[in-house]
Structure 1
């Protein structure tokens, strides 16, 4: 069901995993190597791994899992895998059709399933070699898990763990009544933890930004018949001016209660980030000069600029259930009105956003532990695919840098190309170039945690859809009698 697309599997083991410092370490794999041509991963497996039904995990299960996932066309992107083969019980090779340096992240996210028992009902009754096994799942209400007695990773301190699903308000109510021991809360609420609970702030690369439609409106539609393009945001001057005008520090204070940091790109501070691609913000005068030079003026005195009869107006869509994105949309709208842009905050359902995100601006969030996300957000091949390149951006020079990064013979060798895709001195997807986004903030993930619960050291979190706090759940400990 695509869980590995965002989160660490609860029920399965992965070949590799990220530790607290984001180093890749072995989980099922004890040794791994990539061939000089970048086409073959060879991995040696531990021989004590067992599924929760007591059967041993072998290289055949790994080969089956990768083959099935590559053929499924689901959220796990394994399109570059041409063959997975078991050389013996403890050795597997993964053959790629072309070099893809970010394929290593799939080794750390795709959970291994048993070849002998995997079927269409697996998602509801999973069998894996991970730390937990399922007891009960009432979709949208509650998931109950217990330790897998055959897990190779050591002791787990809890007999059972229950995940309760619901709104932000419902989670806070459970915490206040003592019914929950850990609750994810919006940053604006974090400092109001109830008695018996402490506040936990975790640094993240979980960002929020304004995703722009990049094409003019020309009657083009998606396969589903939804419109593509926006004549206002197709003008680079509009996109650059928004980047110049946004006071990101004020947005951190307003929407995150100060618990976060300004965002200027999709991967701030990570090795593949390029700070040179950014332009200074909180400069309304520069933004207005940019607009004036491009012919956007307020000729009728209503406070909204226009150009050749076109008003500088568009919707800013956000999911109505997300208080943080709502605050960001409202705050950005107020700031942009000062430079003569009418950005209209509009709360919608995700279904409505999905229909309009190629023709209106959307508050979207990303953030990952590997640079493949940069590829998905900006490569022309992903224009209009899922929630990736919603603006239908396509630029050959940027695509060439992204392709060169993926084709690099090593991760360190790929970094210069990732950075050049954002800005190579002449062009790029960043604000100095085509300004495909106006990034606003990087969140801190905020939690209320029982004073009796020790969650140990935590890695920098990626985007929150996978509830990354659970990455180290097997090592949590209860400290009270």
Structure 2
């Protein structure tokens, strides 16, 4: 009981100390929405993941994505690629300064990418041989092999100052972005101020505070009028809040069930976690799940209609292969597939068996995510109708790591580049903490994915990924190996004060990018 009291006390402190809506200045913004799990554990350091898939606020990037998901210049003024696709040259602005007054040059860009290449961040820079400044406004990137998707990588890294970068940078960062760092009260909030020397479109809000609140506390803060903007769950969105409006934003953040693809032979990961499952390693079970579940019903009943169906993991992205899709909401077809695969209910208990093994599975979900809990329960109700038993159980993030290699678990991931496809299905990445947790291994798919990575044009890269999903005879999709059970793309749901105009938000990646268009936000009324 004492532990619960402390957690609640911290959550309350984080927002009861801020000015109420009526007391704060119109150009002050207070938010209870964070990207990628909330407070950045490693601080505000792009070398360790800050801003990789969301607006870094403090730092500039070479390129950005606009609300139409088109790549546009930020620091960059242009780029060129050599005929062999191994050398990329990017020119940058000459009018940019860090907030300590020192000019940003190509040396800082090269330093940032070379440092990130050897750091523990999320950005995949394995293709980068080196980055080097040609002069103050041109930086050259030399790749080990062609990588058409490297243009996306160039837009993912916040640029840090070489002269002021050290081990404590993440705790007190200096950048050249639209906001400058002011204060970080760990466990509670971070305060930013507008960078008056910013070279681009300056944000409307001069002071910007992000509160680190869990779902219930964020919703409570919104109801009290203590925040202008909050990320909420689909369950909370059913309740009206006076003076605020619900704004759902589409995502390409695919919610899926990871499925162990190898039998349980007693193998364990290097950390000692069990690998394999004798039920989900059976293709008939995986295919039955894909066609049997009713995704639209899950969206309507669990997410209050806030979401889209997801069949391939990339349904709404340029490299989707329509031929890889299967029809869902067909429990009779699921029964047929199971029977053809040798799974029948011989004892009349409603659960199919094969060789004495019942199709009964644990289904783990993050215990701090009420939407995924509700999804797990609804899935259990659906699949039992065609003979499969799912037993939902919530786990902490640390506990999920120990069970996900041997049991189905609900997860989510998605960005507007090809990285998730590679990390999900390349056999060489099997057993990573976040990559190929099902131990998928298909040599033909490997060949397609490697060819995609080595492509010299985006069109060529996309075509290889489409073949990896389904080439007419094999692939990772439901048409082939049914390696992951994709379910939905949930909307990101925000509560927005009636006096706040947030423009046209960007389609949200995994973890969210709530401030991706912060430049367009303003106070109205």
Shorter-normalised TM range:
over 0.9
Task: State how far apart, in whole Å, the 2-side matches of 1:34 and 1:395 are.
Answer: 33
- Residue in 2 that maps onto 1:99: 146
Q: Secondary structure at the match of 2:251?
A: strand
Does 1:244 pair with 2:299?
no
With over 3 angstroms needed to count, the CA separation of the structure-2 counterparts of 1:109 and 1:377, relative to structure 1, is same
Alpha-carbon shift at residue 302 of structure 1 (Å): 1.7
Which of 60, 80, 85 matches 1:33?
Answer: 80
Which of 220, 235, 243 matches 1:173?
Answer: 220
User: Structure 2, unaligned stretches of length 5 or more?
Assistant: 1-47
**Which has the larger displacement, 354-363 or 68-77?**
68-77
Task: State how far apart, in whole Å, the 2-side matches of 1:221 and 1:229 are.
Answer: 9
Alpha-carbon shift at residue 207 of structure 1 (Å): 1.6
Task: State how far apart, in whole Å, the 2-side matches of 1:35 and 1:311 are.
Answer: 58
Query: How is 1:7-406 mapped onto 2 (pairs within 5 angstroms)?
Result: 7-406=54-453
* Conserved 8 A contact 1:4-1:76: no
C-alpha RMSD of the superposition? 1.2
Alpha-carbon shift at residue 258 of structure 1 (Å): 0.8
- Residue in 1 that maps onto 2:30: none
* Conserved 8 A contact 1:244-1:281: yes
**Which has the larger displacement, 419-428 or 186-195?**
186-195
Alpha-carbon shift at residue 295 of structure 1 (Å): 0.9
Q: Secondary structure at the match of 1:161?
A: strand
Task: State how far apart, in whole Å, the 1-side matches of 2:300 and 2:112 are.
Answer: 45
Deviations 1:325-353 (A, max 9, x none): 11111111111111111111111101110
Deviations 1:33-54 (A, max 9, x none): 2222221110001001111111
- Residue in 1 that maps onto 2:514: 469
* Conserved 8 A contact 2:363-2:391: yes
User: Structure 1, unaligned stretches of length 5 or more?
Assistant: none
Q: Secondary structure at the match of 1:72?
A: coil
For this pair of structures, how many residues does the alignment match? 478
Deviations 1:382-402 (A, max 9, x none): 211122211011111111111
**Which has the larger displacement, 285-294 or 296-305?**
296-305
Deviations 1:144-164 (A, max 9, x none): 111122211133222211111
Deviations 1:268-316 (A, max 9, x none): 1211011211111111111111111111111122221111111111111
Alpha-carbon shift at residue 479 of structure 1 (Å): 1.3
**Which has the larger displacement, 237-246 or 70-79?**
70-79
- Residue in 1 that maps onto 2:470: 423
Q: Secondary structure at the match of 2:56?
A: coil
Q: Secondary structure at the match of 2:486?
A: strand
Q: Secondary structure at the match of 1:439?
A: strand
Alpha-carbon shift at residue 191 of structure 1 (Å): 4.2
Task: State how far apart, in whole Å, the 1-side matches of 2:124 and 2:413 are.
Answer: 17
Alpha-carbon shift at residue 179 of structure 1 (Å): 0.3
Task: State how far apart, in whole Å, the 1-side matches of 2:51 and 2:211 are.
Answer: 20
Deviations 1:393-441 (A, max 9, x none): 1111111111111222111222211111110100000001000111111
Q: Secondary structure at the match of 1:329?
A: helix
* Conserved 8 A contact 1:191-1:199: no
**Which has the larger displacement, 469-478 or 238-247?**
469-478
Q: Secondary structure at the match of 1:83?
A: strand
- Residue in 1 that maps onto 2:501: 454
Task: State how far apart, in whole Å, the 1-side matches of 2:150 and 2:429 are.
Answer: 17
Question: TM-score w.r.t. structure 2 length?
Answer: 0.89
**Which has the larger displacement, 469-478 or 432-441?**
469-478
Task: State how far apart, in whole Å, the 1-side matches of 2:516 and 2:139 are.
Answer: 25
Task: State how far apart, in whole Å, the 2-side matches of 1:388 and 1:249 are.
Answer: 28
Task: State how far apart, in whole Å, the 1-side matches of 2:443 and 2:340 are.
Answer: 27
- Residue in 1 that maps onto 2:33: none
Alpha-carbon shift at residue 474 of structure 1 (Å): 2.7
Q: Secondary structure at the match of 2:260?
A: coil
Question: TM-score w.r.t. structure 1 length?
Answer: 0.97
